[in-house]
Structure 1
Amino acid sequence: MERNDKKLKRAKVRLKELKGFYWHLAAYIGVNSFITISTIIGRMSNGVSFLDVLDFGTFAVWFFWGIGLFFHGIKVFSYNPIFSKEWEERQIQKYIEKDKREAEKYGRNGR
Structure 2
Amino acid sequence: MKDLNEDKYTRAKRIIKKRKSFYSHLLSYCIVISILAYLNYSTTSFPWVIFPALGWGIGLISHWMCTYNYNPILGKNWEERKIREFMNREEF
Shorter-chain TM-score: which interval? Answer: 0.7 to 0.9
- Count of aligned residue pairs for this structure pair: 89
Tell me which amino acid in the other structure corresponds to 2:43.
G
Structure 1 residues 94 and 19: alpha-carbon distance in aligned structure 2, compared to 1, 3 A threshold: closer
Query: What is the RMSD computed on CA atoms of the aligned residues?
Result: 2.1
Q: Is 1:84 the equivalent of 2:85?
A: no
Q: Equivalences for 1:60-71 in 2 at 5 Å? A: 60-71=51-62
Tell me which amino acid in the other structure corresponds to 1:9.
T
**CA separation in 1, counterparts of 2:58 and 2:42?**
26
Structure 1 residues 16 and 66: alpha-carbon distance in aligned structure 2, compared to 1, 3 A threshold: same
Structure 1 residues 41 and 25: alpha-carbon distance in aligned structure 2, compared to 1, 3 A threshold: same
Structure 2, unaligned runs of 5 or more: none
**CA separation in 2, counterparts of 1:5 and 1:73?**
26
Structure 1 residues 17 and 60: alpha-carbon distance in aligned structure 2, compared to 1, 3 A threshold: same
CA shift for structure 1 position 88: 3.7
Q: Which residue of 2 aligns with 1:25?
A: 26
**CA separation in 2, counterparts of 1:80 and 1:14?**
17
Q: Which residue of 1 aligns with 2:63?
A: 72
**CA separation in 2, counterparts of 1:5 and 1:22?**
26
Q: Cα deviation per residue 1:3-53 (whole Å; 9 max; x = unaligned)?
A: 10110011011101000000000000000000110111122xxxxxxxxx2
Could you state the TM-score of these two structures normalised by the residue count of structure 1? 0.69
Runs of 4+ in 1 over 3 A off after TM superposition: none
CA shift for structure 1 position 54: 5.4
Could you state the TM-score of these two structures normalised by the residue count of structure 2? 0.82
* % identity of equivalent residues: 28
Structure number with greater Rg is 1
